[in-house]
A = this chain, B = another copy of it.
């Protein structure tokens, strides 16, 4: 198991962020992590929107979020603590993440 790759703030690309969040499962995961007040494990998302996600797919989704620079993942014992990098990203791309999270909330509210 090679060490987890986290891009430096200055290496975070807009295209990578948009690609990562263009998947409904990933945007749901990220929204949850960004809104949580404590770190979330991967396995907390074994189901997303009442749909079960295979763990190999979950692992892939977390990798995409991590490599886009959206989350930071640190092993804590047997599990992984995932936290968002919203504050950092805000410094590089002001307003971007809040606008996306807001749009996601608008869409979810509209759908319900």
A residues near B (Cβ < 8 Å) are 10, 13-16, 18-19, 21-24, 27, 92-96, 98-100, 102-104, 106-107, 110
Contacts and interface: CB of A to CB of B under 8 A. Distances in A.
Number of copies of chain A assembled together: 2
B22 A107 contact: no
Contacts of A23: 15
Given A92-B106, A100-B96, A24 B19 contact: no
Contact of A18 (B13, B21, B93, B95): B21
A91 to B, nearest CB: 11
11 contacts: A10-B110, A14-B107, A18-B18, A18-B19, A18-B22, A18-B100, A92-B106, A94-B99, A96-B100, A96-B103, A99-B100
